[in-house]
C-alpha cells in the first residue's frame, strides 16, 4: 500500500515488555505531531490494545501495515471503542469491544469486522472494503445469516442516515459482501454498496437482518455493471404483492416500496415483517434475462396481476405457502418455487402458475372457478380441486399437440413418478377438429411417461363435437402412455367420464416393449355415453389396457357403448401383459362386454356383471393361456349384432395350439329368442380342429328369461 504521511514506526521486537514500551513511545511521538497519520508494522494475528492506541487513532489516524496482507490484525477493548479518525489497513482488520463500538471516522481495509454488544455507525461513518479487482467483505455484528461462529454477534446495531458501507470493485471485478446483523434490534438508515465493475462486475451480496426487531429505511446497491446483479437478504414473515399502497417493512403508516431486485430474496431480509410491495415495483426488476427471488418465512400472496416487461425472466417465490389470487405472465420466462408446500390458486388466479411454482410434494389447491386449459405438469405435485362441478379446467381455445401420442391434452402430465390429480372437472367442450380450434384428438387427462393417481374427477365432452361426437370419433377421457420403457404405476379411481368420442380410459405402452413395466390400477370409475345407440359409427371403448401393460380393472360401471357393428367394448385388453385382473365391474348396454385379444398369461375375469351387450358378454381371442373366467353373471348378451357378430354370452377363440382356459361358476342367462339374431350361452372356436382352445368347464349355470 501507499506510504502515509507522518512518522513511520519500523521496529518490531518479540519481547512483550519491549513492545509495550515501543507502543507507548509511538503514541508519544504521534502526540507530538498532531494531524499526521501514523504507520504501524504488524504481523498477522497481532492484537492491539485499544487503550494503548485510541489517542493515536483519534488524533492522527493510523495506517496498519501487515507483513502478510492476507492475514488479520485485531484491535480489542475490554470496554468501549470510539473511533473518531481514520484507520487504514492493507490486510484484514477486526475491532472487538466488550460493550460498545461507536464509529465516526473511516476504516479502509479489504475486510472489516466489527464485534460488540452495541454498534453505532454515525452519519459521518465510512467503512470501505473496496479494491480494484473486487469488493471486499464487511461484517458488522455477525456473519452471513448469523451462522459464522468466528464472528461475535451484536445485540443492537444502529446505522445512521449518511453513513456509508462500501464493498465495491473499483476497476474490473465483482462486488463484495456486506452483513449487518443484530440478535435483538437492527435499525438501518444508511447506504450500502457492493457494486461490480467492468466485464467481471457481478453485483455483490448484502444482508441486513435481525432475529427480532428490524427497521429498514436506507439504501442498498448491488448492481452489476455486466448485467448480473447481486442479492439483498431481508426477512419478512409474509409478502403481499398488490397494485398500490406499499409497505415493505410492515410498519404502521409505512409507504416504502421495493427498491432493489434482491430486497426480498431471503426470509432473513426483513425479519418479522408483513411486507407489502407493488406490482409496479416488482415489474421494474423483471427486465430481460433477470432473475428475481422473493422469500418469506410464512407466505407470499399475489393480489393483482403481474406481467414481466422483459423476456427470459426467472421469478422464484420461496415460502411455505403461496397464494395466487391473480395471474403471473412471464413471456418466454420461468416461474418456479422454493420450499413451497402449499399453493392456493384463487378464483382470478392461474392454475398453470400453480403447477409451475410447485416442487415435489407441493399441494396445489384450486378454488371453485373455471380455469383455462391446458395445464402442464412435470413434477410430483398434488393438484386438488374444490370438487366436481366446482373447479373446472376447460378448453377455451386451441391447445398444443403432444407429438408422441398425437393428442391435444387438457391436463398434461409427463416425466414424473407420482403426480396426483383429484376433485375437479375436466371439460373438453367438444372443441376438437375444425376451425377455429383444430385441436384434433383431444384428451381430458394425458399421462406420458408418468405415474401417480387420477381420482374423483369428472371428465366430460372430450370429443370433436356433441353427439354423435363429430368426425373421426376422436377423444379420450384419460390416456396413460409409456414410451420410454421405464416403470410407472398409475391409479385411476372413482372418476366420472361421459361424452367421449373414442375411449373413456386408455393405458399402455407405445408398444409391448415400452409398456411392459407399466402397472395400471383402474377402479370404481363411472363411464357412460349420452347416446347409447348410434348406427354406422366407429365403436368406442370404455377401458383399454394394452401394449404390455398389466394391472387391475375392478369395480367400474360402464354403459352406453352400443353401436350397430359390434365394434364397441366396455373393457378391452389388447396385447396387455401377464396377470391382468378384471373383476367386479358392472357392464351393460355395450356392443361387447369384456374383450381380451392377444393378452398375456394368467388373465383373470371374475365376478363381473355383464348384461344386454349387443353382441358378446365376454370375448376371448388368442390369449397366451391360463385364462380364468370365474363367477361372472352374464345376462341376455347378444342378438343385436347384425353382421359379423357372435351373439353369445362367452366366446372363446384361438388361432394357435396350446391355449387353455377355465370357465367356472358363471351364471349365464341367454338372450330371448325374440332378438333379431340367434344367440347362445358359450361359443368356442378355432381356425381349425387342432387349434381350438382347451377349456375346462365347472359349475356353470345356464338359463333363459
Q: For 179-206, how does the pLDDT look when each residue is reduced to its tens digit (9 = 90+)?
A: 999 887 777 888 999 999 999 999 999 8
pLDDT number for residue 533: 45
Is 240 contained in some domain? yes
Distance CA 318, CA 338 (A): 4
**Range name among 61-75, 263-277, 547-561 with the lowest pLDDT average:** 263-277
pLDDT number for residue 184: 78
Q: Give the CA angle between residues 391, 394, 400 to the nearest 5°.
A: 135
Cα dihedral angle (373, 376, 379, 382), rounded to 10 degrees? Answer: 10
The reply to whether 681 and 540 lie within a common domain is yes
pLDDT number for residue 261: 62
The reply to whether 517 and 568 lie within a common domain is no
Phi, psi torsion values for 17, nearest 5 degrees: -70, -40
pLDDT number for residue 244: 83
How many separate domains does the chain show? 5
Phi, psi torsion values for 402, nearest 5 degrees: -90, 115
- SS3 label, residue 30: helix
Is 506 contained in some domain? yes
Closest CA to 516 of 484, 478, 491, 550: 550
- SS3 label, residue 114: strand
pLDDT number for residue 497: 97
pLDDT number for residue 25: 45
588 band by pLDDT with thresholds 50, 70 and 90: very high
Residue 481 has pLDDT above 50, yes or no: yes
What is the per-residue burial (b if ≥16 Cβ within 10 Å, else e) of 623-643? bbbbbbbbbbbbbbbbbbbee
Closest CA to 631 of 612, 647, 610: 610
Parent domain of 287: 234-372
Q: Give the pLDDT confidence of 308-323 residue by residue, as tens digits.
A: 998 988 999 999 999 9
544 band by pLDDT with thresholds 50, 70 and 90: very high
Report the pLDDT averaged over residues 534-546.
74
Phi, psi torsion values for 603, nearest 5 degrees: -70, 130
Q: 213 or 594: whose pLDDT is higher?
A: 594
pLDDT number for residue 500: 87
The reply to whether 565 and 610 lie within a common domain is yes
Is 492 contained in some domain? no
The reply to whether 391 and 360 lie within a common domain is no
Residue 71 has pLDDT above 60, yes or no: yes
DSSP tally for the chain: helices H, then strands E: 4, 66
Domain final residue, candidates 91, 108, 131: 91
pLDDT number for residue 607: 98
Is 180 contained in some domain? yes
Closest CA to 596 of 564, 614, 618, 612: 618
Is 490 contained in some domain? no
Residue 153 has pLDDT above 90, yes or no: yes
State the cell numbers at 231. Answer: 442479492
Report the pLDDT averaged over residues 477-484.
96
The reply to whether 270 and 222 lie within a common domain is no
Nearby residues of 635 by Cβ (< 8 Å), 6 or more positions away: 609, 610, 611, 612, 669
pLDDT number for residue 471: 58
The reply to whether 24 and 129 lie within a common domain is no
pLDDT number for residue 293: 82
State the cell numbers at 392. Answer: 373446472
Longest dimension (CA), the chain: 130
Q: Give the pLDDT confidence of 565-574 residue by residue, as tens digits.
A: 556 899 999 9
Distance CA 45, CA 168 (A): 26
Which burial class, exposed, middle or buried, applies to 244 when counting CB atoms under 10 A from its CB (0-12, 13-18, 19+)? exposed
Is 277 contained in some domain? yes
Is 493 contained in some domain? no
- Identify which of 50-54, 467-471, 518-522 has the greatest average pLDDT: 518-522
Distance CA 478, CA 480 (A): 7
Contact at 8 Å (CB) between 561 and 571? no
pLDDT number for residue 15: 34
217 band by pLDDT with thresholds 50, 70 and 90: low
125 band by pLDDT with thresholds 50, 70 and 90: very high
pLDDT number for residue 685: 84
Residue 239 pairs in a beta bridge with 275, 300
The reply to whether 430 and 460 lie within a common domain is yes
Closest CA to 193 of 239, 127, 113, 148: 127
pLDDT number for residue 9: 32
- Judge if the upstream peptide bond of residue 668 is cis by omega within 30 degrees of 0: no
Report the pLDDT averaged over residues 364-375.
97
34 band by pLDDT with thresholds 50, 70 and 90: very low
Domain final residue, candidates 91, 117, 134: 91
Q: What is the DSSP letter of 3?
A: P
The reply to whether 538 and 681 lie within a common domain is yes
Task: Give the DSSP H or E segment for 282.
Answer: helix 279-284
- SS3 label, residue 443: strand
pLDDT number for residue 704: 84
Query: How distant is the alpha carbon of residue 336 from its chain centre?
Result: 6
Residue 23 has pLDDT above 70, yes or no: no
pLDDT number for residue 641: 58
Residue 100 has pLDDT above 90, yes or no: yes
Which burial class, exposed, middle or buried, applies to 14 when counting CB atoms under 10 A from its CB (0-12, 13-18, 19+)? exposed
Residue 150 has pLDDT above 50, yes or no: yes
Contact at 8 Å (CB) between 696 and 662? yes
Contact at 8 Å (CB) between 410 and 379? no
Report the pLDDT averaged over residues 139-150.
91
Contact at 8 Å (CB) between 429 and 392? no
The reply to whether 104 and 221 lie within a common domain is yes
Distance CA 463, CA 444 (A): 10
Summary mean pLDDT of the chain: 85
The reply to whether 2 and 21 lie within a common domain is yes
Is 175 contained in some domain? yes
Name residue, grid cell 420466462.
Answer: 333
State the cell numbers at 639. Answer: 342378438
The reply to whether 682 and 554 lie within a common domain is yes
Domain final residue, candidates 36, 64, 91: 91
Distance CA 200, CA 175 (A): 9
pLDDT number for residue 24: 42
pLDDT number for residue 342: 98
- SS3 label, residue 245: coil
pLDDT number for residue 28: 42
Residue 35 has pLDDT above 80, yes or no: no
678 band by pLDDT with thresholds 50, 70 and 90: low
Phi, psi torsion values for 359, nearest 5 degrees: -115, 180
For the chain, how big is the Rg over CA atoms in Å?
Answer: 38
Residue 260 has pLDDT above 80, yes or no: no
The reply to whether 554 and 682 lie within a common domain is yes
pLDDT number for residue 629: 96
**Range name among 30-34, 41-45, 64-68, 657-661 with the lowest pLDDT average:** 30-34
Report the pLDDT averaged over residues 24-50.
69
259 band by pLDDT with thresholds 50, 70 and 90: low
Nearby residues of 558 by Cβ (< 8 Å), 6 or more positions away: 504, 527, 528, 542, 543, 570, 571, 585, 586, 587, 588, 590
Q: Give the pLDDT confidence of 398-454 residue by residue, as tens digits.
A: 888 888 888 899 999 999 999 999 999 999 998 876 666 666 689 999 999 999 999
Q: How many CA atoms lie within 13 A of 587 on its CB side?
A: 39
Amino acid at each position: 500500500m501507499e506510504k502515509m504521511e507522518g512518522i513511520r514506526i519500523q521496529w518490531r521486537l518479540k519481547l512483550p515488555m519491549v513492545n509495550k514500551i515501543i507502543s507507548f513511545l509511538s503514541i508519544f511521538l504521534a502526540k507530538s505531531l498532531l494531524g499526521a497519520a501514523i504507520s504501524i508494522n504488524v504481523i498477522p494475528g497481532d492484537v492491539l490494545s485499544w487503550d494503548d492506541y485510541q489517542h493515536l487513532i483519534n488524533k492522527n489516524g493510523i495506517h496498519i501495515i501487515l507483513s502478510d496482507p492476507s492475514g488479520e490484525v485485531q484491535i480489542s477493548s475490554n470496554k468501549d471503542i470510539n473511533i473518531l479518525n481514520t484507520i487504514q489497513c492493507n490486510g484484514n482488520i477486526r475491532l472487538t469491544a466488550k460493550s460498545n463500538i461507536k464509529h465516526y471516522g473511516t476504516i479502509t481495509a479489504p475486510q472489516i469486522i466489527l464485534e460488540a454488544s452495541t454498534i453505532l455507525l454515525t452519519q459521518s461513518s465510512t467503512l470501505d472494503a473496496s479494491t480494484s479487482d473486487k469488493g471486499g467483505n464487511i461484517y458488522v455484528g455477525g456473519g452471513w445469516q448469523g451462522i459464522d461462529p468466528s464472528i461475535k454477534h451484536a445485540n443492537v446495531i444502529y446505522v445512521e442516515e449518511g453513513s456509508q458501507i462500501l464493498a465495491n470493485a473499483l476497476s474490473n471485478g465483482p462486488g463484495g459482501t456486506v452483513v449487518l446483523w443484530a440478535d435483538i434490534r437492527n435499525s438501518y438508515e444508511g447506504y450500502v454498496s457492493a457494486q461490480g465493475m467492468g466485464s467481471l462486475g457481478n453485483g455483490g451480496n448484502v444482508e441486513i437482518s435481525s432475529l427480532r426487531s428490524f427497521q429498514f429505511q436506507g439504501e442498498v446497491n448491488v448492481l452489476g455493471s455486466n448485467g448480473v446483479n447481486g442479492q439483498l437478504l431481508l426477512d419478512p414473515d409474509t409478502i403481499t404483492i398488490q397494485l398500490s399502497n406499499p409497505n415493505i417493512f410492515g410498519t404502521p403508516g409505512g409507504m416504502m416500496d421495493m427498491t432493489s431486485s434482491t430486497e426480498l430474496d431471503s426470509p432473513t431480509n426483513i425479519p418479522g415483517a408483513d411486507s407489502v410491495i407493488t406490482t409496479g415495483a416488482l415489474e421494474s426488476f423483471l427486465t430481460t434475462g433477470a432473475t428475481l427471488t422473493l422469500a418469506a418465512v410464512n407466505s407470499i400472496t399475489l393480489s393483482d396481476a403481474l406481467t414481466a416487461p422483459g423476456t427470459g425472466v426467472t421469478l422464484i417465490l420461496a415460502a411455505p405457502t403461496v397464494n395466487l389470487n391473480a395471474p403471473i405472465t412471464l413471456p418466454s420466462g420461468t416461474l418456479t418455487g422454493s420450499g413451497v408446500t402449499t399453493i392456493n390458486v384463487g378464483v382470478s388466479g392461474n392454475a398453470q402458475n400453480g403447477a409451475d411454482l410447485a416442487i415435489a410434494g407441493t399441494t396445489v389447491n384450486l378454488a371453485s372457478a373455471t380455469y383455462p386449459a391446458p395445464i402442464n405438469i412435470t413434477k410430483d405435485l398434488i393438484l386438488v380441486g374444490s370438487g366436481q362441478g366446482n373447479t373446472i379446467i376447460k378448453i377455451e381455445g386451441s391447445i398444443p399437440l403432444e407429438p408422441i401420442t398425437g393428442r391435444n391434452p387438457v391436463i398434461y402430465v409427463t416425466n414424473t413418478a407420482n403426480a396426483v390429480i383429484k376433485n375437479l372437472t375436466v371439460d373438453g367442450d367438444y372443441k376438437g377438429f375444425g376451425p377455429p380450434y383444430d385441436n384434433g384428438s383431444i384428451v381430458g387427462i394425458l399421462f406420458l411417461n408418468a405415474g401417480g393417481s387420477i381420482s374423483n374427477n369428472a371428465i366430460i365432452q372430450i370429443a370433436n363435437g356433441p353427439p354423435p361426437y363429430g368426425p373421426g370419433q376422436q377423444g379420450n377421457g384419460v390416456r396413460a402412455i409409456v414410451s420410454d420403457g421405464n416403470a410407472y404405476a398409475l391409479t385411476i379411481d372413482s372418476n366420472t367420464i361421459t361424452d367421449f368420442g373414442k375411449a373413456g380410459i386408455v393405458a399402455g405402452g407405445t408398444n409391448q416393449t415400452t409398456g411392459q413395466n407399466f402397472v395400471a390400477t383402474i377402479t370404481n370409475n363411472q363411464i357412460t355415453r349420452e347416446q347409447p345407440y348410434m348406427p354406422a359409427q366407429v365403436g368406442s371403448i370404455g377401458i383399454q389396457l394394452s401394449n404390455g401393460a398389466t394391472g387391475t380393472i375392478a369395480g367400474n360401471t360402464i354403459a352406453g357403448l352400443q353401436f350397430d357393428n359390434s365394434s364397441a367394448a366396455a373393457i378391452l385388453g389388447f396385447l396387455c401383459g401377464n396377470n391382468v385382473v378384471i373383476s367386479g365391474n358392472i357392464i351393460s348396454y355395450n356392443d361387447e362386454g369384456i374383450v381380451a385379444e392377444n393378452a398375456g398369461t394368467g388373465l383373470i375375469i371374475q365376478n363381473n356383471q355383464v348384461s344386454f351387450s349387443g353382441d358378446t358378454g365376454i370375448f376371448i381371442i388368442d390369449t397366451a393361456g391360463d385364462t380364468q373366467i370365474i363367477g361372472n353373471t352374464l345376462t341376455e348378451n347378444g342378438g343385436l349384432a347384425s353382421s359379423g357378430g357372435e351373439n353369445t354370452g362367452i366366446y372363446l377363440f384361438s388361432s394357435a395350439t396350446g391355449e387353455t382356459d377355465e370357465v367356472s361358476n358363471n351364471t349365464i342367462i341367454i338372450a330371448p329368442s325374440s332378438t333379431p339374431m340367434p344367440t347362445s350361452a358359450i361359443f368356442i372356436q378355432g381356425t381349425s380342429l387342432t387349434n381350438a382352445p382347451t377349456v375346462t368347464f365347472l359349475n356353470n349355470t345356464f338359463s333363459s328369461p
